[in-house]
Structures are given as structure tokens and as C-alpha cells.
């Protein structure tokens, strides 16, 4: 596996569908395609095709909820431990956290939080089990912190840094924030 995408947890729509990022208001699949991670626009029902492309997908917490505020700190920490074991076992080249909440819970558990402010999106200086680490915005329809254009730019930058997509040449701007 080249890249493992990590969401926070399944929402009710995704849980009912049995597929990742299944809510129509979530732009994850469109962003993956626009960034160059997938050669065509995948539907949530095609999530099981990701391994064909060297991609994987999982959640920090398996329990469905209406939103992240329904998750306890203990659930997030336990999920981080489980994810850490999975990364050590699978050894992906990169782990992409889809949302600051997933990253923060993982980084807090493994001492990866840097001092001085709120975490930002982009590639991290830290590594885990040899994997490069990236944090990208959560594309949920509830996430009003980024416009689609801003999210697309960040997803494309990550894809280029990982040698993905038609414009896989490295971006001369640093991706570490």
C-alpha cells in the first residue's frame, strides 16, 4: 500500500451504505479524482477498488455517529492505538489524515504534536513507522473552514508530493507547514 487515507469515523449515511464517505454532501471522492489520486471519479461504492491503485482507506474510530462531537476522547485515543498498530503492520508509504480531528487524536497519542499553535494542513515533518504523514481538510459538508478550491489545492499538493496524478512533478513550494 502506497497511501492510506484515514477518516475520523463513519457518519450515518456511510454506515448505512457500507462505504466510506458516502454522504452526497461529502466531496472526498471528487477531491481524490481532481487531485490525481484516482484516474476517474469513483463513487463510494467503488471504495474497494482503491487497493488496485495502491491506496487504502480506514477510519480512526469504527463507530458511526452523527458527528465528531459524539465521539469521546477515549474512543479517539483507542482508535489512534489501533491505527498505529495497523500502520506498523501494513507499512504504507504515506498516511493521509482526512481532517485535523483524526490527526490531532493520533498525534496526541504518539507524541507527534508540535508546539506552538493549531495543526495545519499539509505534509508533516514527523514520520510514523517510516510513513510520511499528511493532514488534509475534512471534505464533509459540515466543514466550512475551507472552500472546495482551497481543499482541491491542498489535495493536489499532497498528490504531487506523493508522485500521483498527471502533474506529479514536485511542487517547488514546501509542503511542510
Asked whether residue 107 carries a pLDDT value surpassing 90, the answer given is yes
- Element spanning 62, H or E: none
Say what the pTM is.
0.88
Per-residue pLDDT, averaged over 146-158, amounts to 95
Asked whether residue 171 carries a pLDDT value surpassing 60, the answer given is no
Domains in the chain: boundaries: 3-161
Environment class of 35 (CB within 10 Å of its CB; exposed 0-12, middle 13-18, buried 19+): buried
pLDDT at 168: 47
Q: What pLDDT band is residue 67 in, cutting at 50, 70 and 90?
A: confident
- Residues 74 and 142: their CA atoms lie apart, in Å, by 23
> If you classify domain 3-161 with CATH, what class do you get?
alpha beta
Asked whether residue 61 carries a pLDDT value surpassing 50, the answer given is yes
Query: Residue 20 has which C-alpha cell?
Result: 466510506
Asked whether residue 174 carries a pLDDT value surpassing 60, the answer given is no
**Which of 130, 122, 88, 129 lies closest to 103 in space, CA to CA?**
122
Amino acid at each position: 500500500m502506497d497511501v492510506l487515507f484515514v477518516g475520523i469515523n463513519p457518519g450515518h449515511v456511510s454506515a448505512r451504505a457500507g462505504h466510506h464517505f458516502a454522504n452526497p454532501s461529502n466531496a472526498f471522492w471528487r477531491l481524490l479524482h481532481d487531485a490525481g489520486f484516482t484516474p476517474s471519479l469513483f463513487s463510494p461504492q467503488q471504495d474497494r477498488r482503491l487497493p488496485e491503485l495502491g491506496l487504502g482507506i480506514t477510519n480512526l474510530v469504527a463507530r458511526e455517529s452523527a458527528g465528531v462531537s459524539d465521539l469521546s476522547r477515549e474512543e479517539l485515543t483507542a482508535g489512534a492505538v489501533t491505527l498505529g498498530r495497523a500502520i506498523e503492520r501494513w507499512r504504507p508509504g504515506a498516511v493521509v489524515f482526512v481532517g485535523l480531528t483524526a490527526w490531532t487524536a493520533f498525534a496526541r497519542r504518539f507524541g507527534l504534536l508540535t508546539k506552538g499553535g493549531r495543526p495545519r494542513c499539509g505534509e508533516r515533518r514527523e514520520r510514523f513507522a517510516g510513513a510520511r504523514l499528511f493532514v488534509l481538510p475534512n471534505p464533509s459538508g459540515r466543514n466550512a473552514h475551507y472552500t472546495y478550491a482551497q481543499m482541491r489545492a491542498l489535495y493536489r499538493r499532497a498528490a504531487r508530493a506523493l508522485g500521483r496524478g498527471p502533474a506529479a512533478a514536485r511542487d517547488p513550494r514546501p509542503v511542510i507547514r
